[in-house]
Structure 1
Amino acid sequence: MTRISLTLASILVAGAAAAAPAAPAAPYRSPLPVEGTAPGFDGAVTWLNSAPLTVRQLRGKVVLVDFWTYSCINCIRTVPYVRAWAGKYKDQGLAVVGVHTPEFKFEQDLTNVNAAVGRFQIDFPIAVDSNQSIWQAWGNRYWPAYYLVDANGKIRYKQFGEGNYDKMERAIQSLLAEASGKPVDSGLVNPPTPAEQMQPDLERLGSGEAYIGYRQAANFRSPERVREDRPQQYSVGALQLNEWGLSGQWTVGAESAMAVQPDAAVAHRFSARDLHLVLGPGKAGASVRIKVTLDGQPPGADHGADIDAEGNGVITATRLYQLVRQTGKVRQRRFEIRFLDKGAEAYAFTFG
C-alpha cells in the first residue's frame, strides 16, 4: 500500500513538473554601457520642426542627438543616414534631435539655417544652438557628433565624425530592443547620397580642409603678405600640392576673404575626387557669377554639382558649393575659381 502510494505520488509530481510553465526569460539588456546622464537642450535660441523639447518629455524614447552645422561637408554627408534612421525607427520608439551649432558667424543666421534645413529635407526637431550653450553642456568638440540616449535618459553610446553607419544603427537597434522588449528589424538603411552627400573617396584623398580667413589659414602661397582686414592686391604663381593663393584685390578677414573688385580669384593645387568651397555672395539677395577651371581649362565632365561643364555657376547663398567631382583617375589638379562680380566671400576648402 505504501509502495503503491509512493509510486503514484511520484507519477503525480512528475506530471505536475512536466506541465508547469517555463520561467519567463529575463528582459533583454543592451550591452552598451552607461556613459552619463543626458544634459538636455537648455540654451537653444529657437527650435525648428518642433516646439521646444526637454529630456523629461523624451523619457521613454531612445534619443539620437546629432550635433551638426550646415556648411560642414562631414555633416552634410551624414544627413541621408540620420534622415533614414529617423524615418525607419520613428514608430519603434526613436526620436532624433538635431543640434545646429555654428562654426562660422554666417551659420548663426536663422534665414541661412532654415534654407539649409529645407534644402536637405530635414523634418526632425532641431535645437538652434547659436550661442553654443548646448554644445558646452554636452562637452562636445566635434562636427558631426552623435550621442545615443536610452529610454531612462542615460547616454549609452557616442560616435564622432562621419562613417561607421552600421555601428551607429546597431546601437540604435540594441537600445530600442531594450526599451520595448520586442525584436527590432535588424536590416541596415542604404539611403541615396546625391551630389555633395556622396560618401568620400578616402583611398584617393590627398588634400585636407583649408581655411581662407587668417585665423586658421595654412599653406597660403601668394607672395604678398596678408594685410588683415584691409584691402590689398594679391597674385599667385606656381603651387605645390595643397598650397593655395589669392589673385586680384581682396580683404582677408578672420573667417573669410572678400573679393573687393570683379575678377578676383582663388587657386588651389589639390588631389581628391571632390573639391568643395564654402562661399557667399556677401549680402542677402546678392548674386555673384563664378568661373571655374582645372589646369587652366573648363572642367568638362569633372564639374561639380554647382557649376556646368564650362565652369560657370552663380553664388546666391552662403553655403558649401561642390565645384569639382573627378570622373576618371584622381590626380593632382590646379583649381581656380574666378569671381566675375565683386563682393563674394570665400571661407574654406573641403575635399572628398
Structure 2
Amino acid sequence: MSLIVIAFLGGVFTVLSPCILPVVPFVFARSDKPFITDRLPLLVGLAGTFALVTALGVAGLAGAAQLSEYGRWIALATLALFGAALLFPSVADRLTRPLSALADRIVARSETQGTTRRIASSMLLGAATGLLWAPCAGPILGVILTGAALHGASWHTAAALLAYAAGAASWLAVASTLGKRAMDALKRSLGIGEHVRRATGALVLVTVAAIATGLDTRVLALIPGAPTNAIESKLVGTLKTKQAAHVQSQRAHIMRVSTQSALPVQGRLPSLDGATTWLNSAPLSANELRGKVVVVNFWTYSCINCLRTLPYLKTWAQRYGDDGLVVIGVHTPEFGFERDTGNVKRALANLNIRYPVAIDNDYGIWRAFGNQYWPAFYIVDAQGRVRFHHFGEGGYREAEDALRQLLADNGKTMPVHDAQAVQANGVQAAADPANIGSDETYVGYRQAQGFASPQRVRPDAVEDYSLPTQLPLNDWALAGKWNVGGEAAVAAGPQARIAYRFHARDLHLVLGPSADGKPVRFRVTIDGAAPGASHGADVAADGSGIVTNARLYQLVRQSGTVEDRTFQIEFLDPGAQVFSFTFG
C-alpha cells in the first residue's frame, strides 16, 4: 500500500517539474469545456495511454521504445490539427465532419449524440497527449518499473503504475479547473472568449513546433528541475527506508533463530523445474535432493553484491561437500546480456564456480521461492524443508552455523568450527561499508537518477551531451554522442565520456562491448589524472583498459584516504554499452 500512495504523490510532483511543461497547453486548451464530457475524458485518455506505454516497457517488449517514439510524432500531428482547429473555425468544421458522421452511425438518433462525440474526441486528445508525456518519468516511476522487472507483472505493480498516472492527472484536473474559472472571468468582463480560443490554438501550434524541433529540450535545460527532483527523491528514500526496514527485520529474525537449538521450518523446497538449463550439472529436482542439505543462492554475474558472496559459497561447497552439502546457484538475470548462456558459462569459468548453476531466464525458480533480492540464499534440510534464509551480503557466520547444524541433524559429525577466514580478492573482496557514500546508479532512462548534463535525455535517440561546469556529489553526466536506451546508454561516437562524482573506496561499472562484439578501448581518470595506485582490477595504472565482454568492471580502488572524487571514463571507440555504477 505504501508504494501505491508514494506512486500517487510522485505523479503529483511530476506535474510540477519542467519535464511536463510541453503538454500543459494541451490540457488548458479545453479548460473552458465542461469537466464531465470534455476535460475528464481527456485526463482519462492521458493517464490510460501513459500507463499503457510504460506498461509495455515493464513487460520488456522490444518494440516499446519504437512505439513510444513513433507515437510521439503521431501525437504531434494530432495535436497540431487540434491547435489549427482552435485557431481556424473552418478547419474545426472540416475535421469534425468525419467524426460526426461516424458518431451518427454509432449512436443513431440517440439523445446523447453530442455528449458521446465530445467524450470520444476528448479521450482521443488525451491519448495523444499521453504519448508525449510517456518519456517524462522520474525516480518514483523508476522504482515501480524496477519492481516490475524484478518480480514480474502483478496487480500491485499495475496499481502503483495507475496511481502514478492518476496522481498527475488529478493535479492537471485541478489546474485546468482553475484555468476554466480564469477564462470564465475574462469572458464575463471583457468578452474576449473567441480571442482566448484562438490564442490557445496558436499556443498549441507553437508548442508543437517547439517539441518537433527540439527547442523545448534546449529551453527546459535552462530551467532547474532540482526542487521537484528532490521531493521525488525524498519519496523514493521513504520507500527504500521501508523496504530496508523490512529486510533488516528479516535479518534480525534470522540472527535470533540461528542462536536457537532448533531452526524453525519456513516452508518446503519449491520445484526447480523453472530452470531453462543447468550448468556444471545435470538437471536437479527437489526429490533428487532429499537426504542432502542444500544452499540455494540467487545471484547474477554482474551484481557486485552477489560477487562478494561467492567466496563464502565456494568455501562451503568445498568444505562440506563430502558431508552431504549441495550448493546450487540460481542465475536470475537483471540485464539482457545476462540471459546469454554463453556469457554465464564464461563468468563461471572466470569466477571458478564449479557447483551446479540453474539458468533461471524465465524467473520460474525466482517466483517459486517468492524471492525479491539479489543476492539471497535459502538453506534446506535433508527432509526438503527451508530452515534458514538471508537477503543481501553479510550474515555468513550465522548461515554457516545453520548449515552445520542441519548437517549434524542429518547424522554427520561436525568437527570444531574452522576459524580460517575466507579469502577474497579483486571485485570479490569485502566492501568498505564505513566509506560508502554513493548508491547503485543505473544509466538507462528507465531507472536513472542523478543525471546532471544540461541537456534533457532523448530516449532511444542519438544526442550530443555535455558535462556541467560543476558536478555535485552522486550526480553523473554524459559528454559527446550517446544513445540512451531504457537499460543502457550506448556511446554513439568515439571520445564519448561519462563522469560521476562519488564517495567510496571502489567504483565499478557494468559495461558491454559494441553490439557486434567488437572490443572497446577506454581511458579512466580520477580528478583529471591517471588513477595510479588507485586503479581497479580492470584498469592499468595509466587508466587504460578495454571492454571485451559484458560484465562488471572494477575501475577504481582507492589506495589512500577515501574522499569525494570525480571519476571520468572516455571510450576511445564507439559502441560501448554502459549499464550501471556500483560501489564498495
| TM-score calculated relative to the size of structure 2 | 0.55
Aligned with residue 471 of structure 2, among 239, 253, 258: 239
* Deviation for aligned residue 1:205: 0.9
* Shift, 1:192, TM fit: 1.8
Which residue number in structure 1 is paired with residue 547 of structure 2? Answer: 315
1:330 matched to which residue of 2? 562
SS of the equivalent of 2:464 reads: strand
Alignment match of 1:257 (pick from 489, 508, 516): 489
Q: Distance in 2 between matches of 1:30 and 1:112?
A: 42
CA distance in 1, matches of 2:474, 2:307: 23
Give the Cα separation in 1 of the matches to 2:571 and 2:412.
59
Q: Which amino acid aligns with 1:303?
A: H
**SS of residue paired to 1:334:** strand
Q: Does 1:204 align with 2:435?
A: yes
Structure with more helix by fraction = 2
Q: Please, which of 270, 284, 289 is the counterpart of residue 58 of structure 1?
A: 289
Aligned partners of 2:339, 2:432: CA distance in 1, in Å?
30
**Is 1:270–1:335's contact at 8 Å kept on the other side of the alignment?**
yes
Partner of 2:535: 303
- Structure with greater contact order relative to length (CA < 8 Å, sep ≥ 6): 1
In structure 1, the residue matched to 2:356 is 125
Match of 2:148 in 1: none
Shift of 1:182: 2.9
Give the secondary structure class of the aligned counterpart of 2:389.
strand
1:70 counterpart (298, 301, 311)? 301
The aligned residue for residue 281 of structure 1 is 513
Q: What CA distance in whole angstroms lies between the structure 1 residues aligned with 2:337 and 2:416? A: 40
Identical-pair percentage: 53
Following the alignment from structure 2 to structure 1, what is the Cα–Cα distance between the partners of residues 426 and 328?
A: 25
- The worse-fitting range, judged by mean Cα deviation, of 53-62 and 172-181 is 172-181
**Alignment check: 8 A CA contact 1:173 1:184 kept:** no
- Amino acid in the other structure paired with 1:33: P
Residues in 1 aligned to 2:297 and 2:369: alpha-carbon distance in whole angstroms = 12
Structure 2 equivalent of residue 195 of structure 1 = 426
What's the CA shift for 1:286?
Answer: 1.1
Q: Is the 8 A contact 2:323 2:412 kept in 1?
A: no
Amino acid at match of 1:312: S
- Are 1:102 and 2:320 counterparts? no
SS for the counterpart of 1:348 is strand
Q: Does 1:116 align with 2:116?
A: no
* Structure-2 change in CA distance of 1:347 and 1:249 (3 Å): same
Q: Answer whether contact 1:76 1:196 (CA < 8 A) is retained.
A: yes
Other-structure match for 2:192: none
Q: Distance in 1 between matches of 2:342 and 2:439?
A: 29
**Structure 2 gaps, min length 5:** 1-259
| TM-fit CA distance, 1:186 | 1.9
Contact 1:169 1:188 in 2 (8 A): no
- CA distance in structure 2 between the aligned counterparts of 1:45 and 1:188, rounded to whole angstroms: 38
- Rounded to whole Å, the distance in 2 between the matches of 1:89 and 1:292 is 42
Change (3 A) 1:54 1:30: farther
Query: Secondary structure of the equivalent of 2:345?
Result: helix
CA 1:253 to 1:323, structure 2 compared with 1: closer, same or farther past 3 Å?
same
Following the alignment from structure 1 to structure 2, what is the Cα–Cα distance between the partners of residues 52 and 163?
29
Matches within 5 A, 1:137-286: 137-180=368-411, 182-188=413-419, 190-237=421-468, 238-283=470-515, 285-286=517-518
Give CA deviations for 1:127-155 in whole Å, capped at 9, x if unaligned: 10011111011000000000000000000
Residues 223/170 of structure 1: CA separation in 2 closer, same or farther (3 Å cut):
same
Work out whether residues 30 and 178 of structure 1, in 8 Å CA contact, stay in contact via their aligned partners in 2. no
Say which is worse superposed, 176-185 or 92-101, in terms of deviation.
Answer: 176-185
Aligned AA (1:53): L
Match of 1:39 in 2: 270
Closer, same or farther: CA 284–178 of 1 in aligned 2, 3 Å: farther
CA distance in 1, matches of 2:413, 2:547: 50
Q: Distance in 1 between matches of 2:412 and 2:512?
A: 50
Change (3 A) 1:151 1:188: farther
What is the Cα deviation at residue 183 of structure 1? Answer: 3.3
Give 1:285 deviation, angstroms.
3.5
Which whole-Å deviations, capped at 9, do the CAs of 1:239-258 have from their partners, x for residues lacking one?
11100010000000011000
Kept in 2: contact 1:107–1:113 (CA 8 A)? yes
Q: Deviations over 1:227-250 (max 9, x none)?
A: 000110001121111000100000
Structure 1 residue 185: deviation in Å? 4.1
Equivalent pair of 1:213/1:253 in contact (CA under 8 Å): yes
Q: Distance in 2 between matches of 1:188 and 1:227?
A: 54
How many pairs does the alignment contain?
324
Contact 1:278/1:346 (<8 A) preserved? yes
- Structure 1 gap ranges (5+): 1-28
Aligned in 2, Cα 1:70/1:293: closer, same or farther, shift over 3 Å?
Answer: same
**Structure 1 residue 190: Cα displacement:** 2.2
Q: Is the CA contact 2:275–2:365 (under 8 Å) kept in the aligned structure 1?
A: yes
Letter paired with 1:109:
D
- Which deviates more from structure 2 when the two are superposed, residues 195-204 or residues 172-181? 172-181
Task: Give the TM-score, by structure 1 length.
Answer: 0.90
Provide the residue aligned with 2:322 in structure 1: 91
SS of match in other structure, 1:136: helix
1:313-347, CA deviations, whole angstroms, 9 ceiling, x for partnerless residues?
A: 00000000000000000000000000000000000
Q: Look up the match of 2:16.
A: none
1:266 & 1:228 partners in 2: Cα distance? 17
Q: Could you give the per-residue CA deviations for residues 181-209 of structure 1, whole angstroms, max 9, x where no partner exists?
A: 53344224522211111100001111110
Mapped to 2, the partners of 1:203 and 1:271 lie a distance apart of: 11
Does the aligned pair in 2 maintain the 1:276–1:322 contact within 8 Å?
A: yes
Q: Deviations over 1:251-274 (max 9, x none)?
A: 000110000000000000000000
Q: Name segments (4+ residues, structure 1) moved above 6 Å.
A: none
